[in-house]
Amino acid sequence: DAKTTQPNSMESNEEEPVHLPCNHSTISGTDYIHWYRQLPSQGPEYVIHGLTSNVNNRMASLAIAEDRKSSTLILHRATLRDAAVYYCILRGYGGSQGNLIFGKGTKLSVKP
């Protein structure tokens, strides 16, 4: 499975936008980009996913580069509750379809 690279940590101020980057230079044409987040003492939580086009939902936006070698998760207005570890994961076709492979993610801190 293709790997992703994320910064270990990022900081944000409350009510400001946050852009969480992810590099996936070895992505294949059929890999979907998934984002999960994990709040303290909880299991991971699905955030958003996409293939080629930018995606929006109530939680966040996903901006995918034209060459698909990178993507950015955008939280439009960070709240204290958004402090979590954010994981960028590639979900491929074939091979190990049955599982998500998590890296270490980006730990986001939100300051009041």
The residues binding another protein (CB under 8 A) are 30-32, 36, 41-46, 49, 51, 85, 87, 91-93, 96-105
Closer of 67 and 97 to another protein (Cβ): 97
Minimum CB separation of residue 20 from another protein in Å reads 15
CB half-sphere exposure, 84, CA atoms < 13 A: 22
Q: Which residues pair with residue 108 across a beta bridge?
A: 10, 84
Q: In Å, what is the CA distance from 59 to each residue of 29, 81, 105? A: 26, 12, 18
Q: Residues, the chain, total? A: 112
Minimum CB separation of residue 85 from another protein in Å reads 8
Minimum CB separation of residue 109 from another protein in Å reads 15
Burial class of 8 by CB neighbour count within 10 A (0 to 12, 13 to 18, 19+) = exposed
Closer of 53 and 112 to another protein (Cβ): 53
Closer of 42 and 53 to another protein (Cβ): 42
